[in-house]
Structure formats: structure tokens, C-alpha cells
Chain A
């Protein structure tokens, strides 16, 4: 079965750039999505089709996908961005989530 691998945790200082990676076999040949989940809340889609932002998602969120790795980049990270982030892709009609990355802003 297809698997997506994320680092368990990433730390970033306020105002700096955070990068969260998601690795999978030939992931660059699929589309990647990213979700943000804050404690006690439902996930929120922040990136779809590798690098598209839904309405209402700040411009500081961006994405890329090439080779075996998709990357979520948060520029000028703010305290409010502290959350768990999940990548997700479709292997045919089967959905796959990464294990999640806890982003700490300190």
C-alpha cells in the first residue's frame, strides 16, 4: 500500500520560514494536499493541487511537489500557525494521509 512519511515535529521561530516535508514513492507524479489541525478542531485544507490555496488561507502558506517529496512552506510563521499538519494524496481512488507533523513556534 502507498505510504506518505512526514517528520514527527518541526520547530520554527516566529517570523521565520517553516518547511514541512512529505515523502512518498514518485509523489511528484501525484497531487498533494495539506491540512492544518489545531487542538480540538477539525482539519482545515490549506493547500490543494500541490500549491493552490483555498479561499481564506493566508498567502504565507505555499506548497511544492517534485520527485518523491512534497513540501509545505510557511513564510513569516506566526504563533497562530502552531498546529499539526498532514499531507494527503490520492493513489488512484484511494486516499492516503501522512502521519502528521507537529509544528512548534517558539
Chain B
């Protein structure tokens, strides 16, 4: 059974860089069949897509966050990562990693449990 697990600091200071890692187990991140994504959810609010990465390193970012987002993949560790720079209180959220099949029309079929990141001033 595929499992995704987010990890990283739960508290980040304003203006600094948020860094999270998603560790994939029960399957290979190097498969050509999948994209790996990050989605966030501010407390009490809705879901926001942050971006996707392919095992080759090809990335797709939310235009509203593109200037601050960097995603990377480490196939040797079966992990992918998110960096979000210049954070503010508005970036406080539950951050999820998830898998999406590359076929058109597919959604995120496996999700991590999420990790809460608070941005402090």
C-alpha cells in the first residue's frame, strides 16, 4: 500500500523559507506513471494546489506562488521536497503531499496525513 509522509519544521519565522519533504513508501517515485504534488489548506479554509513534480525533475507551479516555490525530487531516497521562500502569516497552513496519475483527468489518489506549518512574526 502506497504511503506518503510529510516532514519538516512546524514553525517558520516570517520572511524565512519553509522547507518540507515527502517520503514515499510502498512504491517508487521514479515511475513514469505519476506526478507528485503539494497542496495546502489554511486553518478552516479550502484546498490550494501548490505544484507538481515529475520524477525527471520537471515542475509545474501555481502561478500565484511561482515566484516563491521550488520543488525537487530525490529518487535515491524516494522523496520529493517543497521550498517556499519569504513566508508570511498567510502561508500558515496544513501542507499535504499527494500522488497524481499522469493520465488526463486524474486527481490526487493518495495523500499524506498533512503537516501543519505555522509562520510566526
Q: A residues bordering B, Cβ < 8 Å?
A: 1, 31, 33-35, 37, 42-45, 47-50, 52, 54, 86, 88, 90, 93-100
Q: Give 12 new A-B contacts, CB below 8 A, not counting A33-B107, A88-B47, A90-B105.
A: A31-B105, A35-B47, A45-B109, A49-B104, A52-B105, A88-B107, A94-B49, A94-B62, A95-B37, A95-B62, A97-B48, A97-B49
**Interface size classification for chain B:** 20 to 34
Among B48, B96, B107, B112, contact of A48 (Cβ-Cβ < 8 Å): B107
Q: How many A-B residue pairs have CB under 8 A?
A: 66
Residue numbers in B under 8 Å from A34 (CB-CB): 107
Q: B residues bordering A, Cβ < 8 Å?
A: 37, 39, 46-49, 52, 60, 62-64, 96, 104-109, 111-114
Among A1, A43, A93, A99, contact of B108 (Cβ-Cβ < 8 Å): A43
Establish whether residues B47 and A86, one from each chain, have CB atoms under 8 Å apart when the complex forms.
yes
Residue numbers in A under 8 Å from B37 (CB-CB): 95
Also in contact, A45 and B60, with CB within 8 A (given A95-B49, A100-B46): no
Bound form: Cα–Cα A50–B105 in Å: 8
